Amino acid sequence: MTMTTIVKEKRKEKIFLLQKVRILTILIPILYSIWLAISNAWALNHHRENDRNEIIATVFARASFAPKDSPRQGKSIPNDGSAAATPRKSCLRFNSDAWLRGPRLGNANHSFGMDDSLGKSLILSSVHWSNDNLPLLLQHSICEPNSKFVQPTNESELRLWVVRLVYLFVHYHQHRHAFTEVQNLDSQCIRERHEAGIGPFDFECANAKFLVVRFYNNGIGANMRYAAVPALMAGLATDRVVLFLNQAPVGPPFLQQPWSQVTCERRDAQCFFLPSSPCVLTHHEIEEAYSLQKNERRQLFRTGTLPDNRQDDRVLLLQLPFRAQRVPPNLRDKIYTDILPLIHRMTNDPELQQTLLQATDQLRKDDTIPKNESFTYYGMDSPLFHGLLLYALRPNPRALRRMNEIVTAVLPPSFDSGNSIGLPIRASDKCNVEMECMSFANHLDAAQESWQTFHHPQSQQPFIIVTTESQKIKDEMQLLKRTNATEFVSALVVNHLDVTQDTGYFKPFPNENTYDNGTDKAILSAMASLRLQLYPRFTLGNCCSSFHLMLKDILSEGCGAYHDHVFQCLQSHANPHFRTCCSWDKSFDCIARRENASNIERA
């Protein structure tokens, strides 16, 4: 054998070995993948549905890669990879190291009535719609417990279902990302979470993106109408969970400002209202979040979209200009598309399902102002607006308990909703600034004239529920009661716990720490008065007030105790003498009255 032949043979052997190595290099990953798939399929079949998430987490750990929807790396949040890739207690396997390390800005805890059982129920009911789960969500609204909104009596009432579906869909949108973490939350997991310093309603929601909004130092009604509702519209349009934050320990100055309406240690909306979502952020996420600029905010409401370079940010801050905002053009279709599969799983009753489908179709239609309406305003007669408003107004368990106690203490045993008038009176600092104001006697006369248009028997005096923040109005009322100046005062029902601070901008009680001792007495007084005003058959309000408009909106959607409630604005009163003007009213009469008042003042 020649040298040349030997070299050729060795070269062939070398090539053959290289080919074997290449084949093995290709086959080993394929064989491993096949083995992994078979193993996982067996595991999934063996452990059944209740262990599915644990198996999925095991698969992620074996393959050593992060879930596709894990938080994206970028300015908004550092990505530690899949939580499952790091060995830890089973109940925390869906949480990242960064989130567990914190610090986190947690939700309200047990002192506000939020416990693990309630938190789990809220999340599961929000995600899995059924006839059994709906009552829990509806009962957490601000509405009177026996109202049409909470207790449907006629499944064919289309308008009520439109508003309910919006209310329920916001629950789904705001809670669904916590479902993976909560569904196996047994007593052992609760202990593990407590040991890790995780609150009862705190979840990472690793797949979620967020829009963070603050409340302003304005009244409750204005904050709900110009902050909470527009923020929820923006969150739904962009598929982002909305968080209401104040007094954040980090972030831009506007987010670190406390909410002036409350004085509990949190100094945010959760002092009184339920958390907007079970999802909570770390301080780092808030600190590094991008704040949308003016032109980007405009784009959000004009198009329902965010800038391309911000689409992947996990957290965005939205500082609203605190005024009426347009409905994002993609919002209605987005809700329609997302809500259909939820409806199909909600009930097997074909009649109810047909009603729900019709209600969903109604959601796609633009809002229309009723014809011949002399007084119009932002959000008027809008089921979309009202459903979002009802979601934002959900009181936390502690607040709900105290409101119910006040209602029980104030309403007499003989009270009859069918024979009652609601007279909420907003005065004090709004007078001659945002609106004209009347004396208590004039309010009473206006209510009496309106009540008589219902052709009720003159011999039967109605109950009159009076609530006010004005000490002047309260003094006038007491004087009328002492002098019996009119028979119409004989059945006054007064919230004797009204704080009467003479302003909608609440004054703090910094040295007190509970409702019973006074902290947040002002907001409790205001919201208890709102709850009391859900009981009458007829209400006469001053619609220059955002608080009264908020009351009008929820009463119009079946939120009151009397099922055929009527709300009348003073601005639309039949008697021009009682037709008060708002400062922004451009009608001929109101302009003339303002000019006349200015001339008198100058003289």
Matching residue, tokens 């053009």: 329
Q: What does the DSSP 8-state code read for residue 247?
A: S
The confidence score (pLDDT) of residue 73 equals 28
Look up the pTM and report it. Answer: 0.82
In SS3 terms, 62-106 reads as HHCCCCCCCCCCCCCCCCCCCHHHCCCCHHHCCCCHHHHHCCECC
Q: Residue 118 and residue 565: Cα distance in Å, rounded?
A: 32
Q: Specify burial of residue 250 (Cβ count, 10 A radius: 0-12, 13-18, 19+).
A: middle
The confidence score (pLDDT) of residue 478 equals 83
Of 224-233, 400-409, 459-468, the least confident? 459-468
The confidence score (pLDDT) of residue 435 equals 82
Overall average pLDDT of the 132-160 stretch: 87
Of 55-69, 212-226, 266-280, the least confident? 55-69
Task: Give per-residue pLDDT as tens, 499-516.
Answer: 766 555 555 554 444 444
Asked whether 340 and 363 are in contact (CB, 8 A), the reply is: no
Q: What does the DSSP 8-state code read for residue 318?
A: -
Overall average pLDDT of the 99-106 stretch: 95
Tell me the backbone φ, ψ of residue 39, rounded to 5 degrees. Answer: -60, -45
Overall average pLDDT of the 376-404 stretch: 95
Cα distances (Å, whole numbers) of residue 99 to 75, 117, 278, 345: 16, 22, 14, 33
Cα distances (Å, whole numbers) of residue 556 to 150, 307, 464: 14, 37, 20
The pLDDT-based confidence of 584 (bands split at 50, 70, 90) is: confident
The confidence score (pLDDT) of residue 485 equals 59
The confidence score (pLDDT) of residue 366 equals 82
Question: Cα angle vertex 375, ends 222, 495, to 5°?
Answer: 50
Helix residue ranges, H only, 140-268: 158-175, 179-182, 187-195, 220-223, 229-238, 253-256
